[in-house]
Amino acid sequence: MSVSNNNSNVMRPIISLGQHDPNREQPLDDLQYGQILNSGVNFVTTPITNKHFHFRVRELVSNHLLNASLAGASLAEAVVPPLTPEDTSLFPSHAVTTYIAYASPWIDLASPDPVIASVSRQVLNLEIAYANFCGVRSIVVPGLRRDASKGPGNQGVAQYARAIREALTIGSRLNFIVHLPMYREPDLEEAFELLSTLSSVPHGDGKKNIDIYSAWDSWHAVRSLCEYSVRLFVAVRIPRALPERELQDKWFAEPLHFLTLGQNIFQRNKSGHPALPRAHQELIFRYLRLKNAPWLLLSDVGPDPATLTAEAQLQAASGVNQVPTAADFPPLGQTTSPSHANESTTSFRAYVKYIKWLEMQQAPLSYLEQPTLTSFQDWLQSPLQPLSDNLESATYEVFEGDPVKYNQYEAAITEALAEWSQLGRATSSNNGAVVIAVAGSGRGPLVTRALRASEATGVPVQVWAVEKNPNAYVYLLRQNQTIWNGRVTVVKTDMRAWKGPLISGTHDENPTYGKVDILVSELLGSFADNELSPECLDGVQHVLAPHGISIPESYTAHMSPIATPRIHADLLTRLPTEPNAFHTPWVVHLYAIDFAAQRVPGHPRFQQAWEFSHPIPEATLKQIETRRAGGVMGGGGGSMAGAVGANDHNSRFCHLTFVCRTRGVIHGLAGYFESVLYAPRTGDKPAEPISYPADTELEVTMWRQTDDSKVWYEWLVEAYTWP
């Protein structure tokens, strides 16, 4: 996401604006190109070949089809001859690297006629190879004209997808952008005389009902066959009538490169200026919040090359780059027909000025949308393993940058201390102070909050900071000297091996250890228990007094099936070096996603998988010790795997049903958690993609398994549809 920053430090996404003329026959010359850039756009599209080449190909196909009807199957395949200087006006230059090439719109890669499909594929490959030679870096390929349907429709989608896959191989350094409508809006398809008009083979597309998901289905088929290539993008043509939000969400999650705005979606306000309806503005504003925000492409809007040349020669640039004001674009009201609008207000600059004005109407970026945090959108991070790894100071610093979490921790400790004092409970200390232990103290943020809670309530405390990281231990000692004024006892040990607070006055050779009244920890992962909080807290519970409090007291894991094409593509690129990429829980700030499940009674979008509570019952602790001593065999997954099953009580199982109204694809399960400390965080558990039709129930089964030495998850996703 690119952002603008004005004098008041208000940041908004920047709109990158381009211009596409479907009827442009040759690239703009330097004078024309400079003039259109001066009008306020950032880039333009350019054809690769011209009318001469088009005529040659049509003549080739026409003659071949005629000869085939006479000679039958004995005729050789039609072969498109190489390009000649007369076939193209695109040549290497300094400006060509800034062009967005547009493949010939008259080809039909999905034609049911094998001759048309073959020639179209040859034309595309010729154009790709030549554009790549000239220095072009991105090519837009016209999308399917027909989506999958009964008869030859599915064959056409497969042919098109295979042609794009071949193109990715030929243009190994190019980005490819498939141009598709958001849905097949009646009577608003792009009109071109395709090569298919020369064929007598029927298209087999007699569908009358509108299926608003068919264009997305075609795109999904193409990118799936292309194995989610990171060089394959989609340009979505925005319709005049926007579809339901579910379809908008599907496209939101895709690798969008362009949003195409045709002249037909603009209205005229009462002053005659072009303007977009409010719904279209909101859609654009939402899409621009993406980390890789799509560029806007004005299609079939703009001056022809002759006009650009004339304007450049007259140097009619005065006032073009002035910043538009709200007075230039009054609200939509009594709309007027474009045919009755003043010609000057329908000029290309009027559209450009409107888009620039629209850019300034966006809501300022919130704190969570600032560039630093936006860079983490859909970025996969390996979960931390604080049990086995000693974290760096920078990692701790990231944790401490979450003030909400630590404010809630402080509020929880404050409430616990106030209640302790109010009820007159006995403490585990000799002087009546409440004993607080922070297990896994890190750099000490929870220690600071515990001391603040004591000051706020007036309840005296003894604070113990337990940390196994030897480097963090040094930092904690310094904090105790400089910040906490020696009020904290710092212990370097694994929390599970800690014997408890050392009672003062006891001999070193025969020490006596006390108990803890409040045990505070921050061991929760993105899926609650995925950083082994249950196992860690079980291991330190022996120091907790019988009436003691654990903060957190409980936490629940939740999940929801999602589509994440970008993350799925990222994982595919990791497979050569990370074979277990699809079987690894990842921490990620999910953003470009599509929630597959609907909110329906009895089946919410986010459903609880399981819960853990602390402290665990005393009977469970005794059973753990008995199993470790070899006194009990049999039971859950751990013992069945050959272990004694001492951790079987932390195994979990869930079976959830999600309702999906619209068809789509599932790439993974988004995991979340809730805690009594009110600090939800997000994560993602990628899985192999599974497609499902409309009106489907998704059954998700998940297990948390253990064999006493490790913990892992197993899951199963099933899709059912009803006739």
Binding-site residue set for S-adenosyl-L-methionine: 396, 405-406, 467, 494-495
User: Three-state DSSP class for 424?
Assistant: coil
Structure tokens at 13: 């996404």
Structure tokens at 5: 């920053």
Contact by Cβ (8 Å): 236, 260: yes
User: Considering 185, 410, 522, 535, which one is annotated as catalytic?
Assistant: 522
- Backbone CA torsion sign across 341, 342, 346, 350: negative
Contact by Cβ (8 Å): 213, 662: yes
DSSP labels, 82-126: PP-GGG------SSGGG-EEE--TT--TT-SSHHHHHHHHHHHHH
Report how far residue 268's alpha carbon sits from residue 338's, in angstroms, rounded to the nearest whole number.
Answer: 7
Report how far residue 495's alpha carbon sits from residue 509's, in angstroms, rounded to the nearest whole number.
Answer: 22
Structure tokens at 354: 């409107």
Report how far residue 226's alpha carbon sits from residue 220's, in angstroms, rounded to the nearest whole number.
Answer: 10
User: Three-state DSSP class for 713?
Assistant: strand
Q: Please confirm, yes or no, whether 611 is among the known catalytic residues.
A: no
Residue 695: how many other CB atoms lie within 10 Å: 14
CA atoms lying within 13 Å on the CB side of residue 14: 12
User: Considering 531, 578, 688, 714, which one is annotated as catalytic?
Assistant: 531
CA angle 631, 636, 640 (to 5 degrees): 80
Structure tokens at 322: 């002035």
Q: Please confirm, yes or no, whether 59 is among the known catalytic residues.
A: no
The residues facing 701 across adjacent strands are 655, 716
Annotated binding-site ranges? 396, 405-406, 467, 494-495
Q: CA dist 645 to 74, 622, 630, 648, 694, Å?
A: 74, 13, 10, 5, 43
Nearest to 592 by CA among 560, 559, 564, 561: 564
DSSP labels, 475-524: HHHHHHHHTSTT-EEEEES-GGG---PBPTT--TTS--B--EEEEEE---
What are phi and psi for residue 677, nearest 5 degrees? -95, 5
The residues facing 549 across adjacent strands are 518
Q: Which amino acid makes up residue 239?
A: P
Nearest to 304 by CA among 25, 16, 50, 49: 25
Which active-site residues does the annotation give?
A: 522, 531
